[in-house]
Chain A
Amino acid sequence: MPILPPGINETDFSAALGQFAETVGTNWVFTSDEDVALYRDAYSPFWGSDEEKLASAAVAPESVEEVQQIVRIANRYRIPLYPISTGKNYGYGGSAPVHSGSVVVDLKRMNRVLEIDERNATCLVEPGVSYFDLYNAIQEKGAKLWIDCPDPGWGSPIGNALDHGLGYTIGHFRDHFGSHCGMEVVLPNSEVLRTGPGGIPGSKTWQQYQYAFGPQLDGIFTQSNFGIVTKMGFWLAPEPEAFREDTVAVYNHDDLIPLVDVTSYLTNSSISNGLPGLGSPLLRADSDPEHIALLQTSDRPALERYGREKNIPYWTCNIKTYGPKEVINAQWAHAREKFASSIPGATFTEGEKLEFPLTYEQGEEYQQGRIAGGRVDFGIPNLSIFQIISRTPWNPDPKFGHYYFSPIIPKTGEAIFEASKVFTEAYDQLGLSRPPQGITSLPALYYQRSAMLLMALQVTRNVEVDRKNRTAFKELIKIAAEHGWGEYRTPPAFQDDVMNAYSFGNNALRRFNETIKDAIDPNGIISPGKSGIWPKNMRGA
């Protein structure tokens, strides 16, 4: 028998489970140890320790009405619920709840693509629809539309967007919450709310206009515990005609500053609409002993000299552009001119040039040799990204997954240098291992106006090592906050800490969230603890 929700007696719990079974059918209520164990987070930083966050049971509804009924029953018995869509949140919590003893509401069976509107490039989906499913539905329909997917394709537009997830294609489509349009939510009192124009009965524009009359509420249902989302609309991109990828290379350390500035200018003026990718060939240890030795020293001029002699750039930036062929060629010509006039000595390499639709083979060829990015650059879902942690020639002894420390920093070269210095020192202080040239981990530029550092910690499934890493992670959160940087998302293990770092105005943000929580969910049944938002009865004094 799995654990009970804290404070709930066995009689009430089994009464609730019985009523869940009447609602969804006995097959779709999971209570045995073996079945409930499938809701553990496979990448849990707590794996095997007595602090691991575990479900007490799971229930898998098939319709909005069943979700409403589950919420009514949970209110009756004060059972904490934890909704998941596809539950593939590896690195940020998997399918496990934040509060041990919660019943996971597994929405995987609600897997219908309800609408694909090719003329207006929108769709409406249920929570169990994965990126693979949505992609397949679009292909079957023959619609000339692109989805924007994160690296792993088995997650869902809804689950990913609700956790502020990100992808790889064109401009604002990469921001998955930002490109959603319209939500349907089962509220903690079991009522159904539709946001945006969905508030009009028989609305004709639910997926076409992101606001409505009055406050725009959608944001409060993300990274929160204010309701169970049962439908969401998304904007899709019309399939572009062509794509090109070009690389700018610069040879001085400080060239990163104009490199980032010009990239920002190009992004912000939509001259280049793809995801820019920063790299540093010179900071990557290679086989030349002289290079390796130089990386161990802090003699920057010597390293720069070595790079120039061997033609190894200090920094590179991939510039990706999507659109009509002549247009993107002209855009690149302009971009190149901007880089050349701002950074003396910059060199340029032309890369891939493709026209859509791709054949299967073209997609495979593009993927070859790429790990992060690849087919996702064209909205083709896949799972190749797992090679960053699986057994590979460069990682012959893999661990059991990873989780990310992921602060948002300003999108400037200066901020990248500062963050690199701060976190390199922090890693050393905290005894975390890092490559000799520092931990950065150049930031990802998914968002158009900011940069995101993604620093992975391994799941070792060694209780002691994982505990030490958790302690170090909490320190990293504090150090980041001292420098004015906050995380965009974090695993349940650290959600209280991250929320506490957003402490402006005597924790006004957390307290306001608590005020909403108490008002709309007085029994505290939806995802207690998510993002550090606890219901009144579970808050410490």
Chain B
Amino acid sequence: MVHRIAGILVSLSLFVMGQALAQDVERGREVFQYWCAPCHDDGAARPGTVALQILYNGEKPALLEERTDLLPEYTKTIVRTGISIMPFYRKTEISDADLDALAAYLAP
């Protein structure tokens, strides 16, 4: 009996966690769409995509959303320190919580 209840609790909490994660990733996608896509999606004349195409010359995908090596810490650092002409973002623009979600969305 005790076991069964514990089991239910564990699966319940896994379920809740799974939901939270899915929500985080969805929030991460929204943050990406709003703040990053204008430079990093696959449309015409996207400065980030063009720059990464040249930088990696096909060794890595030019699109951030297709990368499999963007560890959350790396994404967070770039967003808060900038790189090349990409400026850093203030917390009124991308809060720490949104940045976590964004980094999770881009993570492998």
The interface of chain A, by Cβ under 8 A from chain B, is: 28, 30, 34-35, 38-39, 42-43, 58, 60, 87, 90, 94-95, 106, 108-109, 128, 132, 153-154, 364-365, 367-371, 374, 382-384, 386-387, 389-393, 396, 398-401
Contacts and interface: CB of A to CB of B under 8 A. Distances in A.
A42 B82 contact: yes
B58 to A, nearest CB: 14
A401 B43 CA distance: 22
Nearest to A402: B85
Contact of A386 (B39, B90, B93): B39
B7 interface: no
23 contacts: A30-B91, A35-B91, A38-B80, A38-B88, A38-B89, A38-B90, A42-B88, A58-B90, A106-B92, A128-B92, A365-B44, A367-B45, A368-B45, A382-B38, A383-B38, A384-B46, A384-B47, A390-B51, A390-B85, A391-B51, A391-B84, A392-B54, A393-B54
Contacts of A367: 43-45
Interface in B4-40: 34, 38-39
B84 A384 contact: no
Interface of B is mostly: loop
Contact of A106 (B47, B51, B86, B90): B90
Contacts of A109: 92
Interface centre among A95, A109, A390 (most CB of B within 10 A): A390
A382 B86 CA distance: 15
User: How big is the B interface, by class?
Assistant: 20 to 34
Nearest to A128: B92
B55 interface: yes
Query: Which 6 residue pairs are nearest across A and B when measured between Cβ atoms?
Result: A42-B87, A391-B51, A108-B92, A383-B38, A384-B45, A386-B47
Given A153-B38, A383-B38, A401-B85, A390 B90 contact: no
Interface centre among A365, A393, A400 (most CB of B within 10 A): A400
Contact of A384 (B44, B54, B92): B44
Contacts of B54: 391-393, 396
Interface of A is mostly: loop
Interface centre among B46, B80, B92 (most CB of A within 10 A): B92
A30 B80 CA distance: 14
Contacts of A38: 80, 88-91
B46 to A, nearest CB: 7
A55 B31 CA distance: 27
A398 B47 CA distance: 12
Contacts of B93: 108
Interface in B64-99: 80, 82, 84-93
A92 to B, nearest CB: 13
Given A386-B39, A389-B85, A396-B54, A95 B47 contact: no
Contacts of A371: 45
B84 A398 contact: yes
B73 to A, nearest CB: 15
Nearest to A364: B44
Contacts of B86: 386, 390
Contact of B55 (A39, A374, A391): A391
A396 B50 CA distance: 11
A392 B50 CA distance: 6
Contacts of B44: 364-365, 367-369, 384
A90 B51 contact: no
Contacts of B88: 38, 42
Contacts of B51: 390-392, 398
Contacts of B90: 38-39, 58, 87, 95, 106, 108
A128 B90 CA distance: 13
Nearest to B95: A27
A213 B38 CA distance: 44
